[in-house]
Amino acid sequence: MKFRTNSIDGSACLPWHFPAIVSRYPAKGRSDQNRSALDVMGLLIIASFLLMGLAGCSPPPAEMIHLRGETMGTTYSVKVINDGAESAITSLSSAETLGPLSAETLGPLTAKTLGPLSTETLGPLSAKTLGPLSAKTLGPLSAKTLGPRIDNRLVELNQVFSTYIVDSELSVLNRSSGTIPVTQELHRVLRLAWDVYALSEGAFDVTVGPLVNLWGFGPDGPASGVPGDAEIERAKANVGLHRLVLGSDSITKPANISIDLSSLAKGYAVEDIARLLEAAGATRYLVEIGGEVKAMGNNMRGGPWRIGVETPDITTRRIQKVLPIKDSAMATSGDYRNFFEADGQIYSHTLDPATGKPVVHGLASVTVLDIDAGFADAIATAFLVMGIEKTMVLAKEKNLRVLAILRHGPDEFEEIYSPAMQQYLREHQ
């Protein structure tokens, strides 16, 4: 039997070319019973060599695939750890693959069932048939194949959710009224928006666009000043997710209500790209779009991915806390990057739909860990509106992992952890 030698360390690897063992026992002059016994012996020898080859093969070291680009008015970064041949070996040596070579499956073999076995029927156990098992596992995990798929998918998502693309599905929807059919993609995100709207008792509202524009945080740019109460009330008349009806495949809306999904679309896109990577066979990866993150498995060093949470300081950029992230998404919402100052007062882009004004409490940053990046993105925004007391009550009630940072002064911050976040950090530090 010829073994392929690994050029890295010289170790003996899986024998891709099996000898025609059964053919060494010619059929001529032998009874069916003897011939079947020899065939069983041949099959078991092949199985044993296959198992020894898999056990003795040394996979190449893991490599990091790093892809970057622009999307949704921001940037994205995707890191995938390609474990190389190790993935193929794991696949080949799984119970699903090797299960048939067991007493349970070999037990029924008799002269009657083994009669057909020959070099012709054993032929598939060769490089030709075993090769695709590696290619299927490893082939997609390369920059050449993943890059275009990720870019194309993000373009598709932008065409659904963007309010800057005039012919996107959402832009067309906002110019419409009555009952409008929606795609499954848009329906899923709208359903998530409704769920978080209800969970936060209206603090998260994707129809808040008129207020965003009024305060100068929309596409038209900075406002000329602080709007008056009458202007705020007029804008509030065009806000309220409760005024829309979401059907099974449609939405019913008045003409004066528009939807802006920027507060959860990036998180949803992170989740979508994560599904794409897992469909390609990735088990260890980090996806980040505009600061929203999902990390699965261990990093290159064999531990959790470590992601920094910024200090909510409006003057400098620095890291307040580094969180270990494994098999989880992470989203942060803060008041310290998008604001304006008027008459010595700072006005944050975080608007309370109930008052129509920027929030004024001391909660400056909220980070949420959850298995779903879209939910984490949306609920972090809701918490920043709700304030620290309501945030911690809901986090405890729903067992949510939350890190809240309070601002007590220009350079004085306090970290507050929900019970679920405290437990998570104890388990992953």
pTM over 0.95: no
Res. 336 pLDDT band, cuts 50 70 90? confident
Number of structural domains (the chain) is 2
Work out the angle at residue 71's Cα, subtended by the Cα atoms of residues 70 and 76, and round it to the nearest 5 degrees.
Answer: 60
Cβ contacts of 148-155, under 8 Å, gap ≥ 24: 149/276, 149/280, 150/67, 150/69, 150/76, 150/78, 150/273, 150/276, 151/69, 153/272, 153/273, 153/276, 154/69, 154/71, 154/72, 154/76, 154/269, 154/273, 155/71
**Least confident among 34-48, 73-87, 101-115, 182-196:** 101-115
| Domain endpoint, select from 76, 108, 139 | 139
Q: What is the mean pLDDT of the chain?
A: 80
Residue 28 lies inside a defined structural domain of this protein? yes
Residue 174 lies inside a defined structural domain of this protein? no
Residue 346 lies inside a defined structural domain of this protein? yes
Task: Give the Cα separation of 331 and 376 in Å (integer).
Answer: 5
As a residue count, the chain comes to 429
Percent over 90 (pLDDT), the chain:
62
User: Is 185 exposed, middle or buried (CB count within 10 Å of its CB: 0-12, 13-18, 19+)?
Assistant: middle
Q: What is the mean pLDDT of residues 99-104?
A: 44
Matching residue, tokens 């696949």 = 91
Q: What is the mean pLDDT of residues 238-254?
A: 97
Task: Give the Cα separation of 44 and 38 in Å (integer).
Answer: 10
| Domain endpoint, select from 80, 115, 139 | 139
Res. 347 pLDDT band, cuts 50 70 90? confident
Residue 343 lies inside a defined structural domain of this protein? yes
* CATH assignment at residue 401: 3.10.520.10
Residue 280 lies inside a defined structural domain of this protein? no
The crossing angle, in degrees rounded to 10, of helices 184-199 and 373-386 is 30
The 10s digit of each residue's pLDDT in 16-36 is 333 333 343 344 444 555 544
Please tell me the predicted confidence (pLDDT) of residue 17: 38
Please tell me the predicted confidence (pLDDT) of residue 107: 47
| Domain endpoint, select from 78, 107, 139 | 139
Please tell me the predicted confidence (pLDDT) of residue 216: 85
Is beta strand 345-348 parallel, antiparallel or unpaired with respect to 351-352? Answer: unpaired
| Per-residue pLDDT at 54 exceeds 60 | no
Distance of CA 53 to the CA centre of its chain: 35
In this predicted model, which residue has the larger pLDDT, 39 or 200? 200
Q: What is the mean pLDDT of residues 341-350?
A: 78
Residue 13 lies inside a defined structural domain of this protein? no
Res. 221 pLDDT band, cuts 50 70 90? low
Work out the angle at residue 45's Cα, subtended by the Cα atoms of residues 43 and 48, and round it to the nearest 5 degrees.
Answer: 110
Residue 46 lies inside a defined structural domain of this protein? yes
User: What is the span of the domain harbouring residue 319?
Assistant: 302-428
Please give the radius of gyration of the chain, using alpha carbons only, rounded to the nearest integer: 29
Helix (H, G, I), strand (E, B) or coil at 228: coil
Please tell me the predicted confidence (pLDDT) of residue 275: 97
Residue 148 lies inside a defined structural domain of this protein? no
